[in-house]
Amino acid sequence: MKNAFCDEEGIELEGTQIAETMSYVYLGRSLNMENDLKEELGRRRRAAWAAFGPLREATDQLTDHELRARFFNSTVLPALCYAAETRSDTAATLKSLRTVHRALERCLLWYNRRTQLQAVLCSSDLRRISRLHDPAEYVSKAKHQWAGHIMRREDDRWTRRTLEWIPRETKRPRGRPPTRWADVFAARMDQLNAQLETSQNSRRRRPRCSWMTMARERIEWKRCWGPHDK
């Protein structure tokens, strides 16, 4: 696998031509140079159903909704959202995760689309019965924890160096820029800064303009994300 800056010549190792591939799996996640998440989302869907299969026999015999939800949230949900904290999620990727999660939720409650329609139940009704966690909130919490972990490290790892790197010699191409990994944190900090400026005690508190500064303080970083840390 290579990017646009590599030449077209092949690579040989001890006289053996190395085959070129368009994607590969590293640490359980599918990677490609185009950063296309379609293949990875498909792998997450299959992993979630594979994790739900062995659990089905136990959940079908449980009458305690809280215990059943705990089993699901501790096994199936991590398989569905694996490594989601390391990618830039868009509305399309979150919709894909929620679609798979809704299908698993219906299967957990012994419903399908037809029986759900006959029972006049919407998705919010099933969520209230199942008591499952929303995958978007799960991803948001995982990404928030991972960002704080990166910014508090002091061993000069590549995770932090690439996050703080600004390519000043490269011009931005035309059109709308793609969603960046840190956009969600910048938007959240803008909301907090606006709230501080309009609060009554804004003179006593100094608004923080950078999420990287906030992430270095564990307590403040945990507090700024509010309900996701409960």
Which ranges constitute the DSSP H helices of the chain?
Answer: 38-59, 65-80, 91-108, 113-118, 123-130, 135-151, 158-164, 183-198, 211-215, 218-224
pLDDT of 21 over the 80 cut: yes
Q: Between the CA of residue 104 and those of 18, 153, 204, what are the distances in Å?
A: 41, 37, 49
Q: What whole-number distance in Å separates Cα of residue 167 and Cα of residue 170? A: 6
Q: Give the model confidence (pLDDT) of 75-126 as tens digits.
A: 999 999 999 999 988 899 999 999 999 999 999 999 999 999 999 999 999 9
CA atoms within 13 Å, Cβ hemisphere of 178: 9
Cβ proximity of 1 and 26 under 8 Å:
no
pLDDT of 149 over the 50 cut: yes
Of 5-14, 18-27, 61-70, 137-146, the one with minimum mean pLDDT is 5-14
Mean per-residue pLDDT for 192-203? 68
Q: What whole-number distance in Å separates Cα of residue 195 and Cα of residue 172? A: 31
> Which residues have a Cβ under 8 Å from the Cβ of 89 and sit 6 or more positions away?
139, 143, 179, 184
Residues pairing with 32 in the sheet: 23
pLDDT of 134 over the 90 cut: yes
pLDDT band, residue 228 (cuts 50/70/90) = very low
Query: What per-residue confidence (pLDDT) applies to 209?
Result: 62
Query: What per-residue confidence (pLDDT) applies to 203?
Result: 55
pLDDT band, residue 43 (cuts 50/70/90) = very high
What DSSP state is assigned to residue 180?
Answer: P
Cβ proximity of 64 and 8 under 8 Å:
no
For residues 194 and 41, the model is more confident at 41
pLDDT above 70 as % of the chain: 92
Tokens, residue 199: 């609060």
Query: What per-residue confidence (pLDDT) applies to 213?
Result: 87
Query: What per-residue confidence (pLDDT) applies to 166?
Result: 79
DSSP annotation string for 114-172: HHHHHTT--HHHHHHHH-PPPHHHHHHHHHHHHHHHHHT--S--HHHHHHH---TTSPP
How many CB atoms lie under 10 A from the CB of residue 104? 22
